[in-house]
């Protein structure tokens, strides 16, 4: 476990520190509500929980009975040379053997039960997070860092889990140990217990003081470490550019500043944090000395026997142990609570509103798309689209044009219902899209986005992603249509080539072609192209466009492209500027208007001639 | 580990002092049970109260000394480890910055990052903890054994005999659990990958309604992770109960054997009590040694990973220039019979030659993977050619000192790097550039969007420029490239997200304001290249056409067909 913990810890620290402004907000939930929720996760396995409780109490009791027995044996031995009561000694020894073996067996069982318990909690938590992740609106992922979400689902869940499996167990056993030791000490020598009236408050005050003092130091440490990690991550990813500009020295200076701050915070935290160990030992030794002196006094006065003294000393050690551990447990719990907050924040993030209960399933779509009086804005008071009317007949081509940043992808977001309109409505074959299921609406489109997305899997799996029952013939046909087939066959493993994370040998253009092949395979009657071919070189694009034209037949198409020559054949052109639809019409009518489109079009000629 | 010693060496006396203090602190702590035994066995039965208090005071004094010694030593260990870590990190960062593109490709950024952060962290942990516990646990173990041997050899042998059993248990548990933990780490990587793919591909997944498929995928890896975790945990958790059991059984044995020895008058009963105390100490020492072992192996593994990077040979060293090599009238940029291959298999650039004069523009056009970016990598000396020469003003770039070479260029790579900070910071990019120049560069780059941002030049840019559109990012990057008035401007598909209008304004601004700048453009757009003095049409690493627009329109079939598709049938349109 240690191995996993350490790495997890490091990563967690990074998550912790990577700038407060861009983290998804872990709302300040009150701790009690949080514990109730954690309890609910535990409560799902009531049987295991009860078993764990039972095992932990019995195993602790068995171990705790040991000193009592050894004390009894020592009393029997203490009768002096030649007078040792061997019967008692053997009886005690046999009982001790039995008790210790049973106790160890029970401890192992307890570990096993706790492992299962924490495994089930972790699994459930990850499941819940992921489940909600898939339901979140697209906009959520535009706002938050991927790494942050990943660190929550892995490291934060782990932190919570470790706290549950380790701290919970420790608390449970500590309570048993402290109670039983206390009772035992009371039965052996009530007067000696008075010593703890002194040492317990000392321990308590000390740990409180330490926690208060050290916690902010460790917080600073995590923050500085996080800053360093963030800086390193950023600068290493830009290493090529930094080198190209020869800025290594300046960057190194900044790195050194962050490095120094991190090391300093680290040293301070460490130096103060390591006070605890020796101090705890000191208090232990102090109790031992006091117990020893006072019990000797009692022994001299004949108030207790030697064996009792022995057991008392052992119990006093057991008694002070857990109390001193409290400080550690509390700080562990702090980090677990912080982690749980982040996990729950992700589980609670608002998902896309559910489909209407009477939502229709779109079937055999004709491809008649109509937008009526649509208003939309990402941020209130900043309207992006106002009063937009658009009618795309089945099989027609709608081109969306406009300068950079004009908000062309917004239209796509609305068509696919990644966002809902603020007013007005969008109709597919006469059905308002909010009255049909999202999944059937989205399935009615095939889509090729600007950013290519491939996953860890074979080329075949990636192309067939949208059509799980696709045959090899279909996949090959799609790949041929996308002009990627010959490239694929040249690979040693052909269609079974595994696309790994860094996409090793696959260039950007080839990735784009694969996603086009994926879209080709779909049977949808509507098609969305978002600057899809801008990464492909012109020669290949010529071929693709020919194939696309075949694909587009009988399909309602929405195309975002910069190349005006390809848009001239559109049935309807939507011209956007600064987030607004400024003009709409065919190429001829728009040219005749001599408006924005006309200027845009002519600027291309201006550039060419 | 040899590398690590180099960093420890300057601090060796400080560390030695730490260890001595630690040793003393531990030694006095070890005397406490010894004193206790004396009280219980000799002073208490004798009923000498003064002696009892005296020895009790002695215990207290030892406890105080132990406290002070341990705290001081712990602080010192934190200080020296901090200094060592800082030095290692510094050197590692310097080394990472100096790696060639080829070395970085091989190392990969995530790996470099984890070496710089989590590996150095592991080393730090190892250094502090070994100083803190490395002396304590063995002393407690050996000291405990010696003390018990002195008290009563027979009883001591009882539990010395048990120690190997614990050793064997720890050995086997480690042997089986380490591979398990490594497996767990691999499975965790899988979980991370599925989540990552789901976040980056959210639109595609939603569009294709594949959420259920993805949930099933996640469920499978989640289950696998839980299973491997359980298996590893079941093995690891054997150590504790078993070690405790063995020691407790030993304790029972001590009581029994002790009974016989007391009966025969060989020892006092107090010895047994002291033994029980030493038992706890030895048990903790054993567990401590196990932990040190784990820490050492992990720290050593990290130190090796760091050393691997530190020991990488220096790539792309500057070669001394040969005398008299400069000949006649040198071009600003010249490629002379250059060949290059990334992998050594097949040619990425084959026998390429061209010349470009001061202030001229070179355009490079060609299909994906034809070697366009490779030419830039060679020109910038991110890689060295396998054959041939790249010359600047007639000087082989391998002979130009690194910093001189860098100052010549302003560059925009594909998907270039944008850092967190203000817009101005991104344009300056760690250079000393005055405000006026920054504004001029932004103007030329057509970055008028800056003025519209709240805060203008001081507007915040988030990580990777996520709050800028593609076109805004590109213009920001172009402004960065122009800001230092470079001799050579290199743009790798740097205006692909710009509309034609903005693109053409940009090119006009470059022509007018940066007349003396030699420009190298990689692009897919013929319109961007029309005014270039030289256009190279690349195909599979070879030049299939070279010349200006007019020349290529006449001689190069490929160029003509590309131009025609892109520019449309002008005659009809106009």
Among A residues 414-433, those touching chain B with beta carbons less than 8 Å apart: 416, 418
Which of A352, A607, A609 is most worth mutating to test chain B (most B CB atoms within 10 A of its CB)? A607
Measure in Å the smallest separation between the Cα of A595 and chain B Cα atoms: 15
CB contact under 8 A, A455 and B201: yes
Judging contacts by C-beta atoms under 8 Å, the chain B residues touching residue A100 are 244-245, 248-249, 252
Q: Are residues A156 and A267 in the same domain?
A: no
Separation CA A458–CA A479 (nearest Å): 14
- CA angle (A226, A227, A229) in 5-degree steps: 65
Separation CA B494–CA B447 (nearest Å): 13
| The pLDDT value given to residue B573 | 33
Residue A358: inside a domain: no
Residue A266, C-beta contacts closer than 8 angstroms, at least 6 positions apart: A221, A224, A225, B78, B82, B85, B124
Interface check B469 vs A, CB under 8 A: yes
Its ipTM equals 0.74
Measure in Å the smallest separation between the Cα of B294 and chain A Cα atoms: 8
Separation CA A483–CA A481 (nearest Å): 5
CB contact under 8 A, B255 and A465: no
Interface check A305 vs B, CB under 8 A: no
| Token pair of A410 as six digits | 């917004």
Q: Which of A176-190, A376-390, B134-148, B203-217 has the lowest mean pLDDT?
A: A376-390
CB contact under 8 A, A244 and B244: no
Option in A10, A245, A515 nearest B118 (CB)? A10
Q: Are residues A63 and A123 in the same domain?
A: yes
Separation CA B480–CA B489 (nearest Å): 11
Option in A4, A153, A536 nearest B368 (CB)? A536
Average pLDDT over residues A516-538: 73
Q: Torsion over CA of A242, A248, A250 and A251, rounded to 10 degrees?
A: 70
Judging contacts by C-beta atoms under 8 Å, the chain A residues touching residue B545 are none
| Token pair of A269 as six digits | 């935290």
> Could you give phi then psi for residue A391, rounded to 5 degrees?
-130, 120
| The pLDDT value given to residue A542 | 66
Q: How many domains does chain A have?
A: 3
B342 or A478: which leads in pLDDT: A478
CB contact under 8 A, B208 and A274: no
| The pLDDT value given to residue B64 | 92
Q: Are residues A480 and A604 in the same domain?
A: yes
Q: What are the b/e assignments for B48-74, b being 16+ CB within 10 Å? A: beebbeebbebbbebbebbbbbbbbbb
Q: Which residue of A has its CA nearest to B264?
A: A81
CB contact under 8 A, A77 and B269: yes
Separation CA A207–CA A331 (nearest Å): 11
Q: Read off the pLDDT of residues A226-253 as tens digits, 9 standing for 90 and up.
A: 777 777 777 777 777 787 777 888 888 8
Residue A25: is its pLDDT beyond 60?
no
Residue A360: inside a domain: no
Q: Are residues A136 and A200 in the same domain?
A: no
Composition of chain B by helix, strand, coil, percent to 5? 65, 10, 25
Separation CA A46–CA A36 (nearest Å): 15
Judging contacts by C-beta atoms under 8 Å, the chain B residues touching residue A349 are none
Chains A–B, number of C-beta pairs less than 8 Å apart:
495
Residue A503: inside a domain: yes
Among B residues 391-430, those touching chain A with beta carbons less than 8 Å apart: 402-403, 405-407, 409, 411, 413-414, 416-417, 419-420, 429-430
Measure in Å the smallest separation between the Cα of A586 and chain B Cα atoms: 14
Q: Read off the pLDDT of residues A353-372 as tens digits, 9 standing for 90 and up.
A: 777 788 888 777 788 888 88
Q: Are residues A604 and A459 in the same domain?
A: yes
Parts of chain B belonging to CATH 3.40.50.300? 331-408+486-569, 414-485
Q: Are A125 and B250 in contact (CB under 8 A)?
A: no
Interface check A130 vs B, CB under 8 A: yes
Q: Are B526 and B365 in contact (CB under 8 A)?
A: yes
Separation CA A522–CA A518 (nearest Å): 7
CB contact under 8 A, A270 and B25: no
Residue A3: inside a domain: no
> A325, A352, A379 — which closes off a domain?
A352
**Domain of A54: which CATH number?**
1.20.1560.10
A94 alpha carbon, distance to own chain's centre:
52
Q: Which residue of B has its CA nearest to A76?
A: B259
Option in B201, B251, B562 nearest A539 (CB)? B562
CB contact under 8 A, B207 and A416: yes
Separation CA A455–CA B193 (nearest Å): 9
Q: Are residues A143 and A219 in the same domain?
A: no
Interface check A588 vs B, CB under 8 A: no
Domain range B2-152+267-310, CATH architecture: Up-down Bundle (1.20)
Interface check B497 vs A, CB under 8 A: yes
The CATH code belonging to domain B414-485 is 3.40.50.300
Interface check A217 vs B, CB under 8 A: no
Interface check B269 vs A, CB under 8 A: yes
Q: Are residues A271 and A405 in the same domain?
A: no
Q: Are residues A109 and A207 in the same domain?
A: no
Interface check A42 vs B, CB under 8 A: no
CB contact under 8 A, B573 and A309: no
| The pLDDT value given to residue A502 | 44
Confidence band, pLDDT 50/70/90 cuts, at residue A3: very low
Per-residue pLDDT of chain B (574 residues; tens, 9 = 90+): 678 889 999 999 999 999 999 889 888 887 887 787 788 777 777 777 888 888 888 988 998 998 999 889 989 998 999 999 999 999 999 888 888 777 776 776 666 777 787 778 878 888 888 888 777 778 778 877 887 888 788 888 877 788 788 888 878 887 787 777 767 767 877 887 788 778 777 778 887 778 888 889 899 989 998 888 888 888 878 877 888 788 888 888 888 888 888 888 888 877 887 787 777 777 777 767 766 776 676 677 778 878 888 888 877 777 776 655 555 577 889 999 998 887 666 677 888 899 999 888 999 987 766 788 888 888 988 888 888 989 988 888 888 888 888 888 888 887 777 887 889 988 988 888 888 888 989 988 888 888 887 788 888 887 667 677 777 888 999 999 898 888 899 988 887 777 777 888 888 888 888 888 999 988 877 878 888 899 998 887 788 888 888 898 888 888 887 777 666 544 333 2
Containing structural domain, residue A74: 26-189+336-352
The CA-atom distances, in angstroms, between A3 and each of B184, B295, B303 are 10, 9, 15
Among A residues 159-188, those touching chain B with beta carbons less than 8 Å apart: none
Option in B82, B272, B431 nearest A267 (CB)? B82
Q: Are residues A208 and A169 in the same domain?
A: no
Q: What are the b/e assignments for A210-234, b being 16+ CB within 10 Å? A: bbeebeebbbbbbbbbbbbbbbbbb
CB contact under 8 A, B185 and A607: no
Residue A325: inside a domain: no
Among A residues 343-372, those touching chain B with beta carbons less than 8 Å apart: none
Judging contacts by C-beta atoms under 8 Å, the chain A residues touching residue B204 are 447, 449, 453, 465, 515
Average pLDDT over residues A391-411: 78
Parts of chain B belonging to CATH 1.20.1560.10? 2-152+267-310
Among A residues 450-509, those touching chain B with beta carbons less than 8 Å apart: 453, 455-456, 465-466, 468, 501-502, 507-509
Could you give the residue ranges of the DSSP H alpha helices within A375-506? Answer: 408-415, 438-443, 459-463, 472-481, 485-490
The CATH code belonging to domain B331-408+486-569 is 3.40.50.300
Judging contacts by C-beta atoms under 8 Å, the chain B residues touching residue A254 are 430
Measure in Å the smallest separation between the Cα of A427 and chain B Cα atoms: 17
Q: Are residues A141 and A246 in the same domain?
A: no
| Token pair of A520 as six digits | 């080709």
Interface check B268 vs A, CB under 8 A: no
Q: Are A480 and A473 in contact (CB under 8 A)?
A: no
Three-class SS of residue A504?
coil
| The pLDDT value given to residue B141 | 81
Q: Are residues A248 and A172 in the same domain?
A: no
Q: Are residues A182 and A200 in the same domain?
A: no
| The pLDDT value given to residue A17 | 31
Q: Which residue of B has its CA nearest to A269?
A: B78
Q: What are the b/e assignments for A396-415, b being 16+ CB within 10 Å? A: bbbbbbbbbbbbbbbbbbbb
Judging contacts by C-beta atoms under 8 Å, the chain A residues touching residue B453 are none
């Amino acid at each position: 476990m240690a191995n996993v913990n350490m790495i997890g810890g490091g990563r967690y620290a990074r998550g912790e520190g990577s700038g407060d402004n861009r983290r998804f907000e872990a709302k300040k939930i009150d701790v009690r509500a949080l514990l109730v929720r954690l309890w609910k996760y535990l409560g799902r396995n009531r049987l295991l929980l009860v078993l764990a409780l039972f095992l932990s109490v019995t195993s602790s009791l068995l171990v705790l009975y040991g000193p009592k027995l050894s004390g009894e044996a020592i009393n029997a031995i203490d009768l002096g040379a030649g007078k040792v009561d061997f019967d008692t000694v053997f009886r005690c020894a046999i009982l001790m053997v039995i008790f210790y073996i049973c106790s160890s067996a029970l401890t192992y069982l307890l570990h096993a039960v706790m492992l299962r318990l924490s495994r089930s909690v972790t699994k459930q938590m990850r499941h819940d997070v992921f489940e909600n992740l898939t339901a979140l609106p697209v906009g959520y992922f535009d706002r938050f860092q991927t790494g942050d979400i990943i660190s929550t689902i892995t490291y934060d869940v782990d932190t919570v889990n470790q706290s549950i499996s380790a701290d919970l167990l420790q608390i449970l056993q500590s309570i048993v140990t402290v109670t039983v030791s206390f009772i035992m000490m009371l039965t052996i020598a009530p007067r000696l217990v008075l010593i703890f009236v002194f040492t317990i408050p000392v321990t308590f005050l000390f740990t409180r003081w330490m926690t208060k003092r050290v916690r902010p130091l460790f917080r600073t440490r995590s923050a500085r470490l996080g800053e360093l990690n963030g800086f390193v991550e950023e600068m290493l990813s830009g290493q090529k550019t930094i080198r190209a500009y020869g800025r290594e020295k300046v960057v190194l200076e900044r790195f050194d500043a962050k490095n120094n701050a991190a090391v300093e915070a680290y040293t301070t935290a460490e130096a103060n944090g390591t006070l605890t160990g020796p101090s705890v030992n000191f208090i232990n030794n102090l109790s031992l000395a006091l117990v020893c002196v006072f019990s000797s006094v009692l022994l001299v006065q004949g108030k207790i026997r030697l064996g009792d003294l022995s057991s008392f000393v052992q119990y006093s050690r057991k008694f002070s142990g857990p109390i001193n551990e409290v400080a550690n447990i509390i700080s562990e719990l702090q980090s677990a609570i912080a982690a749980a907050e982040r996990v729950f924040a992700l589980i609670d993030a608002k998902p896309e509103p559910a489909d209407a209960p009477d939502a229709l399933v779109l079937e055999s779509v004709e491809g008649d798309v109509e937008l009526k009086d649509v208003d939309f804005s990402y941020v209130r008071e900043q309207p992006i689209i106002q009063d937009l009317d658009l009618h795309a007949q089945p099989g027609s081509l709608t081109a969306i044009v406009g300068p950079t940043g004009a908000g062309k992808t917004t239209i796509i977001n609305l068509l696919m219902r990644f966002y809902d309109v603020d007013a007005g409505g969008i109709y597919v074959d006469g059905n308002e899209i909010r009255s049909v299921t999202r999944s059937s609406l989205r399935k009615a489109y095939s889509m090729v986005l600007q950013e290519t997305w491939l996953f860890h899997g074979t080329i075949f799996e990636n192309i067939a992603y949208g059509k799980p029952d696709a045959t090899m013939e279909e996949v090959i046909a799609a790949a041929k249509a996308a002009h990627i087939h010959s490239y694929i066959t040249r690979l040693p493993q052909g269609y079974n080539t595994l696309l790994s994370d860094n996409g090793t040998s696959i260039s950007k253009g080839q990735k784009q072609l694969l996603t086009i092949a994926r879209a080709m395979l779909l049977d949808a009657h509507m098609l969305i192209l978002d600057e899809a071919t801008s990464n492909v070189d012109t020669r290949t694009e010529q071929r693709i466009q020919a194939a696309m034209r075949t694909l587009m037949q009988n399909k309602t198409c929405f195309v975002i492209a910069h190349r005006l020559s390809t848009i001239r054949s559109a049935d309807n052109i939507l011209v956007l500027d600064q987030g607004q639809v400024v003009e709409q019409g065919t190429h001829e009518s728009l040219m005749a208007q001599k408006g924005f489109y006309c200027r845009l079009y002519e600027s291309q000629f201006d550039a060419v001639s | 580990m040899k590398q690590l010693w180099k960093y420890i060496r300057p601090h060796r006396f400080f560390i030695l002092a730490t260890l001595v203090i630690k040793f003393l602190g531990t030694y006095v702590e070890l005397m406490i049970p010894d004193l206790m035994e004396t009280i219980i066995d000799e002073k208490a039965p004798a009923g000498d109260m003064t002696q009892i208090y005296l020895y009790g005071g002695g215990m207290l004094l030892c406890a105080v000394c132990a406290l002070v010694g341990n705290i001081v030593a712990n602080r010192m260990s934190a200080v020296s480890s901090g200094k060592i870590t800082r030095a290692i990190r510094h050197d590692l960062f310097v080394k990472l910055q100096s790696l060639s593109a080829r070395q970085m490709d091989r190392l990969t950024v995530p790996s470099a990052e984890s070496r710089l952060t989590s590996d150095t962290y592991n080393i730090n942990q190892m250094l502090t903890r070994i100083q803190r516990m490395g002396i304590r646990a063995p002393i407690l173990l050996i000291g405990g054994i010696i003390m018990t041997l002195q008290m009563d050899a027979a009883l001591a042998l009882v539990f010395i005999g048990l120690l190997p059993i614990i050793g064997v248990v720890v050995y086997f548990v480690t042997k089986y659990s380490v591979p398990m933990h490594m497996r767990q780490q691999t499975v965790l990587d899988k979980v991370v990958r599925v989540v990552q793919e789901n976040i980056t591909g959210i639109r595609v997944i939603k569009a294709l309604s594949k959420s259920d498929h993805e949930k099933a995928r996640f469920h499978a890896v989640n289950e696998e992770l839980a299973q491997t975790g359980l298996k590893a945990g079941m093995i690891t958790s054997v150590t504790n109960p078993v070690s405790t059991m063995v020691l407790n059984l030993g304790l029972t044995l001590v009581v029994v054997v002790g009974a016989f020895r007391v009966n025969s008058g060989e020892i006092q009963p107090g010895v047994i009590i002291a033994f029980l105390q030493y038992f706890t100490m030895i048990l903790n020492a054993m567990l401590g040694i196990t932990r040190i072992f784990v820490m050492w192996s992990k720290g050593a593994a990290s130190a090796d990973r760091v050393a691997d990077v530190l020991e990488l040979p220096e790539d792309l060293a500057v070669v001394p220039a040969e005398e008299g090599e400069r000949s006649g009238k040198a071009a600003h940029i010249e490629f002379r019979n250059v060949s290059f291959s990334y992998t050594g298999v097949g040619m990425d650039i084959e026998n390429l030659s061209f010349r470009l004069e001061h202030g001229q523009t070179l355009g490079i056009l060609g299909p994906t993977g034809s070697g366009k970016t490779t030419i830039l990598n060679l020109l910038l000396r991110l890689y060295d050619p396998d054959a041939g020469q790249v010359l600047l003003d007639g000087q082989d770039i391998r002979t130009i000192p690194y910093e001189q070479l860098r100052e010549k260029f302003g560059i925009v790579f594909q998907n270039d790097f944008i850092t967190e900070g203000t817009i101005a910071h991104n344009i300056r990019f760690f250079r000393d550039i005055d405000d006026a120049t920054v504004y001029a560069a932004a103007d030329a780059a057509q970055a008028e969007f800056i003025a519209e941002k709240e805060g203008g030049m001081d507007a915040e840019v988030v990580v990777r420029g996520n709050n800028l559109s593609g076109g805004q990012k590109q213009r920001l990057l172009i402004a960065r490239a122009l800001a230092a008035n470079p001799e050579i401007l290199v743009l790798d598909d740097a205006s692909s997200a710009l509309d034609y209008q903005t693109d053409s304004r940009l090119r006009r601004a470059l022509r007018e304001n940066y007349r003396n700048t030699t420009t190298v453009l990689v692009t897919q757009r013929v319109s961007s290249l029309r005014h270039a003095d030289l256009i190279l049409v690349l195909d599979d690493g070879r030049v299939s056409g070279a010349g200006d627009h007019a020349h290529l329109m006449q001689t190069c079939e490929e160029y003509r067909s590309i131009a025609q598709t892109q520019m449309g049938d002008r005659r009809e349109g106009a």
